[in-house]
Amino acid sequence: MESMGKVLVINYEKCTGCRLCELVCAVMHDGISNPTRSRIKVMKWESEGLYIPMSCQQCQDAPCMNVCPVKAISRDEELGRLVIDYDVCIGCRSCVAVCPFGAMSFNSIDKKIFKCDLCDGDPQCVRFCEINAIEYVDADDVSLLKKKDAAERISIAGKEAAALAAQV
């Protein structure tokens, strides 16, 4: 079976909200330290104290690609990412409206749509995330990584429950 390439995997439970990923992304793509130009956005849920980095999921059945009236969005099979052909894009922003993750953005200065392009196979957000909340892994391994992470949480919870029961 052929691999689907690599994908960004975000573990929001590790994210501290430092937002370095946003700054690195903006500098990498636009040469400016401005988080509004970033292709990854860290959402903060105040009441829960959670920080959740959000980025393009490079969907297999991509709504952005399907809705584009001029077919300016296509899949780069080699890297498994969706790319925008700026020579074809008319800036209608249909892709922005339809993305369920809010990962498509419109730069009002450049008048262009933008989204995560996986930094051509070397995502800088991954490279600079010191706590490894963002990983770049084979798509085929995502399920296995999630199972391993869940098993570790269940194991820890079981040990904590056993320790509490021993104290009673």
Query: Where is average pLDDT lowest: 25-39, 40-54, 129-143?
Result: 129-143
For residue 106, is it within any domain?
yes
The model's pLDDT over 47-100, given as tens digits with 9 standing for 90+, comes to: 888 999 999 999 999 999 999 999 999 999 888 899 999 999 999 999 999 999
For residue 109, is it within any domain?
yes
Q: Which domain holds residue 67?
A: 6-139
For position 4, what pLDDT does the model report?
Answer: 58
Of the candidates 84, 87, 101, the residue with the CA atom closest to the CA atom of residue 29:
84
Kindly tell me if the per-residue pLDDT of 108 is higher than 70.
yes
Average pLDDT for the chain:
90
For residue 99, is it within any domain?
yes
Q: Give the per-residue SS3 of the chain.
A: CCCCCEEEEECCCCCCCCCHHHHHHHHHHHCCCCHHHCCCEEEEECCCCEEEEECCCCCCCCHHHHHCCCCCEEEECCCCEEEECCCCCCCCCHHHHHCCCCCCEEECCCCEEECCCHHHHCCHHHHHCCCCCEEEEEHHHHHHHHHHHHHHHHHHHHHHHHHHHHHC
* Whether pTM exceeds 0.85: no
Number of structural domains the chain divides into: 1
For residue 1, is it within any domain?
no
For residue 154, is it within any domain?
no
Q: What is the CATH number of the domain that holds 21?
A: 3.30.70.20
